[in-house]
Amino acid sequence: MEEKGAENGVAAMAACYQGFDPAAYLQNNYTPPRADFERKDCVVLWKLACLHRAFTEGDVSGELLVDIGSGPTLYQVLSGCEVFNKVLLTDFLEVNRQELRSWLQDEGGCSLDWTPYLQHVCKLEGRRPSAWTEKAARLRQVIVDIVPIDVHRPQPLAHDALPSAGADCLVSCFCLESASPDLASFTRALGHIGRLLRPGGHLLLIGTLGMSYYFGGAGVKIPTVPVNEAQLCASLKESGYNLIRLEVYTLPQDMKLGVDDAYGVFFVKAMKE
């Protein structure tokens, strides 16, 4: 009975995602005020700073970085692409994989210009902003593929998508809580993606705090599981991760836009046992 309920919840989420609109999602979350490069306190600059720090501390290393639930975005791999020689992007929806392919092929048709993001991460790395073209070339060179994923499956990727040793690092932003109907399925999804990671490999997880819905397009209201810091820590532990660092960002009032009801954003650095 319980299992059937969980399956129905997951199926209902998948149905909601059929209305997801990459362009509208990018507009809501990756343009001002949430992405205002003149404003130090905006959420996007906080995320980029967390990722920059995590990827340059020295302990996160290896050959293969996998981004879980990439969506239509690239900001989450702009630091990691300098550390890893291979980056695998993944998403549940073909429309999002197509958006990423448009950028990769560099033939126009992208819904968002990633140039200011590339420039900003160059600055974080102590390079001149004009080095952004080199970073874009590096990212295009290291992306090995863009593949389907379902975090609710015990094996989220196709069986031949990864080498048998697993990934050296996972990054995942706003995917698990946005794709899970309840806390139990969020925790299970954390466990599923952990199976893609080698023991001793790192998980860099970004997500929303207290979010019960967000808009994935005009009129596309997606119900999500609200997670708090204590629940997040318990879920990580239960799924076999050791927490290294948890950072929390509280959304300023003027960044609450009605496109979701989150009160904040978390950043987690953890290691698989």
Q: Across-strand partners of 250? A: 264
Burial pattern 12-23, b for ≥16 Cβ within 10 A else e, equals: ebeebbeebbbe
Q: Which residue is nearest to ligand SAH (CB)?
A: 71
Interface positions, 56-85, toward ligand SAH (CB under 6 A) = 69-71, 73, 76
Nearest to 258 by CA among 227, 215, 218: 215
- Give how many residues touch ligand SAH by CB under 6 A: 20
| Binders of ligand SAH in range 194-253 (CB under 6 A) | none
Q: Which is nearer to ligand SAH, 9 or 69 (CB)?
A: 69
Our finding on whether 152 is near ligand SAH (CB under 6 A) is yes
Please tell me whether residue 17 binds ligand SAH under the rule CB under 6 A.
yes
The answer to whether 217 and 183 are in contact (CB under 8 A) is no
CA pair distance 245, 74, nearest whole angstrom: 23
Nearer to ligand SAH, 92 or 132 (CB): 92
CA separation, residue 98 to residues 1, 89, 185 (Å): 37, 12, 27
Say how far apart CA 52 and CA 170 lie, in whole Å.
15
**Residue of the chain from 28, 79, 96, 119 that contacts ligand SAH (CB under 6 A):** 96
Q: Scanning residues 172 to 191, which ones bind ligand SAH (CB under 6 A)?
A: 173-175, 178-179
Q: Is 92 an interacting residue with respect to ligand SAH (CB under 6 A)? A: yes
Q: Cβ 186 to ligand SAH, closest distance in Å?
A: 11
What is the C-alpha to C-alpha distance for residues 180 and 17, in angstroms, rounded to an integer?
Answer: 12
- Shortest distance, position 130 Cβ to ligand SAH, whole Å: 26
Give the footprint of ligand SAH on this chain (CB under 6 A): 17, 20, 69-71, 73, 76, 91-93, 96, 149-152, 173-175, 178-179
